[in-house]
Amino acid sequence: MIRERTLNGLVLVLLLAVPLWAMFNDQPFTITLATRAVIFALAAVGLNIALGLGGLVSLGHAAFFGIGGYAMGILAHHAQTYTPVMELPFLIEGTKSMPVIWLVAMVTSGIAAFLIGILSLRTAGVYFIMITLAFGQMFYFFSISWAAYGGEDGLLIYVRNDFPGLNTLVPINFFAICFTILCLVLLLNGLLARSPFGLALNAARQAPQRVQTVGLDPQRLKLVAFVISGVITGLAGALFADLNRFVSPTMFSWQMSGEIMIFIILGGNARLCGPVVGAVVFVMLEHFLGGLSEYWHIYLGALLLLVVFFARGGLVGLIAGREVAHD
């Protein structure tokens, strides 16, 4: 058995090495695949903060993924058509600058997570699952009926957005941006899990009564976790839209929510790099099985059942064993 920390390092090194290899061997498609995996991983790391640490089974995280996507789509759409996003009460212009887009994506998905969280956290258990799912659908249908931004067809962005000092059209550069963000967020996640906040959140999941009796509010802890989680998934959405140079209501679909959750479970719930492993494996399955059979979802479904029944800790659990309590 390998220690989890070693495994995490190994995963990230591999994830970096493959696209570097692809760059030297002129395989841009492999780099795109790796970028896709990195972005999915980021979305799932976001969900993992709510799900793994906070025990919040959110089946509506596509809402934040989609909001991030549309934040990018809308800002870039206005920038490429030279129209303002709005003029009243004050002028907001579109933009092609990634950092600005990220900021907007994070703020808007944070606000959405706050509102959805406040309502959904009034309930628990299975209600929570259904309600988050329903709120996700709300955004889905809203985006479909929002004709100004393409409705069902979505928005096409012609040129990838800019990042100061980098040519983002070069695949490896965009990969580097996404990979750096993933590493930073993983670092943040690691710190969060060990911080007083993480400790309290972790306890709020297992024994909310206890948390109350030490004078901390478990609901508020969960709400903050939900917002942090939504912000990260929203950022991933903005990057995903930039990768595809396209946003559409599918980013809001409930299958998307399900897939983000699958990344986590495949890799290992509440494990730092679980979502990364899960996303990488998913993208590989999608690529190889998808190439093998049009009906690859059948195999994915079967694999998922096997994981649920026989590998509760996901792949990380299989390799690294039961989580060792932090020193």
Site for another protein in 124-153 (CB under 8 A): 125-127, 129-131, 133-135, 137-138, 141-142, 144-148
Q: Can you tell me which of 217, 250, 285, 287 binds another protein, judged by CB under 8 A? A: 217
DSSP, residue by residue, 269-315: TT-TTHHHHHHHHHHHHHHHHHHH-TTHHHHHHHHHHHHHHH-TTHH
Sign of CA dihedral 295, 301, 307, 313: positive
- In the bound state with another protein, the residue whose beta carbon lies nearer, of 168 and 258, is 258
Q: Can you tell me which of 41, 62, 224, 247 binds another protein, judged by CB under 8 A? A: 224
Q: Measure Cα distances from 313 to 116, 219, 224 in Å.
A: 29, 26, 26
- In the bound state with another protein, the residue whose beta carbon lies nearer, of 8 and 95, is 8
326 in contact with another protein (CB under 8 A): yes
Least Cα distance to 63 among 225, 229, 222 occurs for 229
Q: Measure Cα distances from 283 to 34, 59, 89, 92 in Å.
A: 8, 20, 44, 37
Query: Which residues, other chains included, contact 100 with Cβ-Cβ below 8 Å and sequence gap of 6+?
Result: 75
Q: Which stretch binds another protein (CB under 8 A): 12-20, 91-99, 119-127, 154-162?
A: 119-127
Q: Which stretch binds another protein (CB under 8 A): 5-13, 30-38, 235-243, 303-311?
A: 303-311
Site string for another protein, 247-276 (x = CB under 8 A): -------x---x--xx--x---x-------
Q: Which stretch binds another protein (CB under 8 A): 18-26, 159-167, 195-203, 236-244?
A: 195-203
308 in contact with another protein (CB under 8 A): yes
23 in contact with another protein (CB under 8 A): no
* Terminal alpha carbon distance of the chain: 18
Q: Which stretch binds another protein (CB under 8 A): 51-59, 73-81, 156-164, 277-285?
A: 51-59
